[in-house]
Amino acid sequence: MKVTISLTVNGAQIRRDVEPRTSLADFLREELRLTATHLGCEHGVCGACTVMVDGAPARACIALAVSLDGAEIRTVEGFAEDAAMGVIKEAFHQEHGLQCGFCTPGMLISARDLIARHPEADDVGIRRAMSGNLCRCTGYQGIVRSIKSAARQLSSQGKQP
Amino acid sequence: MKPAPFSYHRATSVDDAVAALTQGAGMARILAGGQSLVPMLNLRLAPLDTVIDISRVDSLRQAHDDADSVRYGALVTHAAFEDRRVPDGSNGLMPFVAGQIAYRAVRNRGTIGGSLALADPAADWLTTLVALEGKLLIAGPEGRRAVAAADFVIGSYLTDLAENEMIEAVVVPRRSATERWGHYKVARKTGEYAESMAIALVDKARNYARLVVGATDGAPLVLEQAAQAFLDGRTDDALRVVIRDELLAAGREFSAARLTMHTTVAMRGLKGAAAK
């Protein structure tokens, strides 16, 4: 019943047997104990579980681990040494983008991708691009400010993600 | 919630996937990008025994630019359209539509074939493909066949696909360079499924107009009389009446509010195309 998969998670080669029904999110959390990836809605709406799959953001709750054999996964833990993510995290701290913190890992992944693709995004652009990440504290004002501030800093430092 | 257990088959080719579908006898389902199927599995709304993963079939990711049309493999993602990583023959309509589907994280994995196969009446590609007069190439145990997008959709979540068939590619005819498109969509929240959507194609040089309204509780509605009335020069209330009557004649039993919404959305789609 179980299927063997090999994939890269935060740079480490992983080989495990998984049940086909196991989501990438559960695989990361339960098998690998990478608990920064949070599960909110478990049907692809809230964005808390957003991680990078082969260099692009994806919902870990609606990706089956078994279908990701050979993929390269990067969770927010994998960005610990990433300079751009460091600036984004600090901006979230300074601009009150953090409240309870539950949505933050997904927010950070989406924000970094947004800044990489659209460094000049304005408030409306940021809100539209971040609409797939829900904050139940409704702290959107701070989150938008954080992303704008991080984008400006990264752009003035010439450090694009 | 978590999905109920199922078995997993990683297809090596289209024929292998079709064989697995046939073996599954109605209880096997194709997994493309999984952006609708996996949520439904998580909610235990999709009863199945076997998931047939086609993501490793590379031919399904290819797009080909032909003289009169563009052929997209079933696994071309919404993000690939949005980023224009695949050819476009629709004067920019397809990249625009793609960029409005759900959210970027979903667009990175969701595919055009998967979206069409599900045939959610409120989904973007369905209305778009009917508007663009696209067709679907379908693979089954007896070989390949082509079906027009308008004939492919039978109703809400209901298609012409037999239980042992799958979408292999989507073919979109190259639209005239002088054609202009209008798009209008009403959704409660950015990235949500549409409450109503309309696509209008207007080519003044060829005296051509086409108007399609989606999210209409069934297959997208092609409003031919309204398109003709538009070409005949009707505007404002005179045009509204034609659109409204044609929507009513479709027999979808729209509430008064929905009828008004669809009529307004269709008007705005046409105006958008005419203004360009």
CATH code at position B19: 3.30.43.10
Q: Which of B41, B85, B106 to mutate to test the interface with A (most CBs of A within 10 A)?
A: B106
In this structure, the answer to whether residues A74 and A90 fall within a common structural domain is no
Q: What's the predicted TM-score (pTM) here?
A: 0.96
Q: Identify whether B130 is part of a domain.
A: yes
Q: Which of B2, B7, B12, B38 to mutate to test the interface with A (most CBs of A within 10 A)?
A: B38
Residue A83: strand, helix, or coil: helix
Mean pLDDT throughout B237-248?
Answer: 98
In this structure, the answer to whether residues A50 and A112 fall within a common structural domain is no
- Tell me the pLDDT band of A70, cut-offs 50, 70 and 90: very high
- pLDDT at residue number B60: 98
User: Quick check: B257 contacting A, CB < 8 Å?
Assistant: no
Which chain B residues are closer than 8 Å to A56 by Cβ?
A: 79, 108
A25-29, A112-116, B45-49, B171-175: which has the minimum mean pLDDT? B45-49
In this structure, the answer to whether residues A7 and A74 fall within a common structural domain is yes
Cβ-count burial A98-137 (b if 16+ within 10 Å, e if not): beeebbbbbbbbbbbbbbeeeeebeeeebebbbbbbbbee
Mean pLDDT throughout B253-274?
Answer: 97
Mean pLDDT throughout A52-77?
Answer: 98
Mean pLDDT throughout B125-138?
Answer: 98
Beta bridge partners of A57: A52
Other beta carbons within 10 Å of A157: 11
- pLDDT at residue number A160: 80
In this structure, the answer to whether residues B132 and B223 fall within a common structural domain is no
Residue pair B274/B182 in contact (Cβ under 8 Å)? The answer is yes
Question: What is the residue whose two structure tokens read 């007069």?
Answer: B133
Q: Identify whether A161 is part of a domain.
A: no
Domain boundary among A57, A78, A99: A78
- pLDDT at residue number B276: 86
Residue numbers of A between 34 and 93 with CB closer than 8 Å to B: 42-44, 47, 50, 53, 56-59, 61-64, 66-67, 69
Give the tens place of pLDDT for each residue, B24-35: 988 999 999 999
Q: Which of A47, A53, A64 is closest, CB to CB, to B103?
A: A47
Question: What is the residue whose two structure tokens read 């504290």?
Answer: A137
The distance of A114 to chain B (nearest Cα, Å) reads 9
Give yes or no for residue B70 having a pLDDT over 90: yes
- HSE (side-chain half, CA atoms, 13 Å) at B150: 10
- Tell me the pLDDT band of A1, cut-offs 50, 70 and 90: confident
Mean residue pLDDT across chain B: 96
Its domain, for residue A131, covers 82-156
User: Is there a contact between B53 and A63 if contact means CB atoms under 8 Å apart?
Assistant: no
Map B98-122 to HEC letters: HCCCCCHHHHCCCEHHHHHHHCCCC
